[in-house]
Amino acid sequence: MRKKLMAANWKMYKTPDQTRDFFRNFLPLVSGQTRDEIVVCPPFLDLPAAIESAKGSNVAIGAQNVHWKEEGAFTGETSAAQLLAIGVTHVVVGHSERRQYFGETDDTVNLRLKTALEAGLTPICCVGEVLEEREAGMTDDVLRRQCVRAFHAISAKKAAKLVVAYEPVWAIGTGKTATPEIAAEAHAVIRYEAGKIFGEEFAAQLRILYGGSVKPENASALMAQEEIDGALVGGASLDPKSLAAIVKY
């Protein structure tokens, strides 16, 4: 019922040449793969090379962030209009690394999300608890808070394209994956919260991805969970064969 979305987050890896190389190798491996949607999110610098390489293929291109203002004196930032102008269709919002290292707050996540939705981009909004929060039994509260604040003052109509990614911070880049059951439980909390905010019908359609050490070896067990509607893949998305294996779980 919900088409899965398999998204790659390259973080701060690869040059434009390496991007072109990646697509040269990756596209033949996934051609005709239409069961799920495929999106690659390279660094800003690589977006034009990625868009050119993926043109006419079944792979869409996303950015890793977007600013909420239309334009202005915001050094180092990129607007939704700039992304749309070159053919970007998706954008990651509120990744835990932005929250951890670059001062991203629940409020700025909300601003970015609103802007992405208004612009017609498909936002992949990341939520997730850190290890101390999980150990203190606060996971559900943290997810609820992050959802309430991120979705604040957004209507269900406006949110139509919203995608959420559950990314437990303790599982990102650590090799530790949440078990499919742990992930499914968290997804159910997020879906319930989205239902309270946007209505149950919306929540039933909402795609919730899992992210955190997804690899070819664990992708099929994770994707077998009814609650899991795709993956946000970091480290294992840098190699074309590995990402193709995940996409074809």
Q: Is 67 a catalytic residue?
A: no
- Residue 175 CB, shortest distance to ligand PGA, in Å, is 8
Total number of residues that touch ligand PGA (CB under 6 A): 13
Interface residue with ligand PGA, options 47, 203, 232, 247 (CB under 6 A): 232
For the CA atoms of the chain, what is the radius of gyration? 17
- Residue 33 CB, shortest distance to ligand PGA, in Å, is 20
Looking at 67, 90, 95, 187, which residue is catalytic?
A: 95
* Residue placing its CB nearer to ligand PGA in the complex, 96 or 198: 96
Interface residue with ligand PGA, options 61, 124, 214, 247 (CB under 6 A): 214
* Residue placing its CB nearer to ligand PGA in the complex, 31 or 100: 100
Q: How far apart are CA 121 and CA 119, in angstroms?
A: 6
Among 110, 140, 103, 135, CA closest to 125: 110
* Residue placing its CB nearer to ligand PGA in the complex, 59 or 233: 233
Interface residue with ligand PGA, options 42, 62, 168, 212 (CB under 6 A): 212
Q: How far apart are CA 141 and CA 97, in angstroms?
A: 20
Q: Is 77 a catalytic residue?
A: no
CB 14 within 8 A of CB 43: yes
Question: Segment near ligand PGA (CB under 6 A), from 104-112, 184-192, 193-201, 209-217?
Answer: 209-217
Interface residue with ligand PGA, options 172, 178, 219, 247 (CB under 6 A): 172
Report which residue's Cβ sits closest to ligand PGA.
Answer: 234
Q: Which two tokens stand for residue 165?
A: 């990614």
- Residue 236 CB, shortest distance to ligand PGA, in Å, is 6
213 lies in the binding site for ligand PGA (CB under 6 A): yes
Among 158, 229, 166, CA closest to 193: 166
Burial letters for 88-124: b for 16+ Cβ neighbours within 10 Å, e otherwise? bbbbbbbbbbbbeeeebebebbbbbbbbbbebebbbb
Q: Where are the beta strands (DSSP E) in the chain?
A: 5-9, 37-41, 59-63, 90-93, 122-127, 163-166, 207-211, 230-233
- Angle, alpha carbons 9-14-19 (nearest 5°): 85
117 lies in the binding site for ligand PGA (CB under 6 A): no
Interface residue with ligand PGA, options 15, 28, 160, 173 (CB under 6 A): 173
233 lies in the binding site for ligand PGA (CB under 6 A): yes
Give whole-number Cα distances, 201 to 16, 120, 191, 227, in Å.
42, 21, 11, 15
The catalytic site residues sit at 95, 167
Residues near ligand PGA, by CB under 6 A: 9, 167, 172-173, 211-214, 232-236
